[in-house]
């Protein structure tokens, strides 16, 4: 039996009927076509499915869609401003922090949450924030550098330097 839920995804209101066992990742990808959220392991080990739920990073493969009722979800599709990439996304590209790209949406969303909470994160804070996201391609150093660069860009844009 499906249940009707209302939620906000990337600043857009949705009303969808979901089965109680459907995960948020499945809803995003299969029902709404938001395929930027990747499903890697389906058990919360890889972080590829990371989205922000009310501003907090969560593994959407472990969150039931019904748990998102009345809440705000941010996926990778909602990070850019139209065709203008967010500084975190630009830094990932410029620093070569993406290879195959499978982990990138989760990495970007975790980085965004970190910088919103800690505008000038240390390398240790970045490593800790990204510890739940696995990357098989980059060796992480370029990702860390990209997050540092994005934090600096955002601070400069806000007049913090």
Residues 105, 147, single domain; the answer is: yes
User: In terms of domains, do 11 and 28 share one?
Assistant: yes
**Are 107 and 56 members of one domain?**
no
**Do residues 71 and 91 both lie within one domain?**
no
Q: How many domains does the chain have?
A: 2
Residues 48, 94: one domain? no
List for the chain the helix, strand, coil content (%; round to 5).
40, 20, 45
Does residue 20 share a domain with residue 48?
yes
What local confidence, expressed as pLDDT, does residue 157 receive? Answer: 87
Q: Which of 24, 150, 41, 148 is nearest to 75 (CA)?
A: 24
Question: Which CATH number goes with the domain that contains 152?
Answer: 1.10.150.120
Domain boundary among 61, 78, 95: 78
pLDDT in tens, the chain (161 residues): 999 999 999 999 999 999 999 999 999 999 999 999 999 999 999 999 999 999 999 999 999 999 999 999 999 999 999 999 999 999 999 999 998 999 999 999 999 999 999 999 999 999 999 999 999 887 799 999 999 999 999 999 887 65
Q: Residue 104's closest CA among 54, 148, 140? A: 140
Q: What is the radius of gyration, based on Cα positions, of the chain?
A: 16
Domain of 68 in residue numbering reads as 3-78
- Of 38, 60, 78, which residue sits at a domain end? 78
- What is the pTM assigned to this prediction? 0.94
Residues 6+ apart with CB under 8 A from 72: 7, 8, 9, 52, 53, 54, 55
* End position of a domain, from candidates 78, 99, 122: 78
| Domain at 65, CATH number | 3.10.20.30
Same domain, 24 and 57: yes
Q: What pLDDT does residue 161 have?
A: 53
- Examine the domain organization and report whether 19 and 69 are in the same domain: yes
- C-alpha distance from residue 74 to each of 1, 20, 21, 155 (Å): 27, 21, 21, 22
């Amino acid at each position: 039996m499906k249940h009707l839920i209302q939620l906000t995804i990337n600043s857009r209101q949705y009303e969808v009927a979901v089965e109680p066992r459907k995960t948020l990742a499945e809803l995003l990808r299969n029902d709404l076509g938001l395929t930027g959220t990747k499903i890697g392991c389906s058990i919360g080990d890889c972080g590829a499915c990371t989205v922000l739920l009310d501003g907090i990073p969560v593994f959407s493969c472990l969150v039931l869609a019904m748990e998102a009722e009345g809440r705000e979800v941010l996926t990778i599709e909602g990070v850019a401003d139209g065709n203008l990439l967010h500084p975190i996304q630009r830094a990932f590209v410029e620093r070569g922090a993406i290879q195959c790209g499978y982990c990138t949406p989760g990495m970007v969303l975790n980085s965004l949450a970190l910088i919103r909470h800690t505008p000038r994160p240390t390398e240790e804070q970045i490593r800790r924030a990204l510890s739940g996201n696995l990357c098989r391609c980059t060796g992480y150093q370029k990702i860390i550098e990209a997050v540092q660069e994005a934090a600096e860009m955002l601070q400069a844009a806000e007049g913090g330097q």
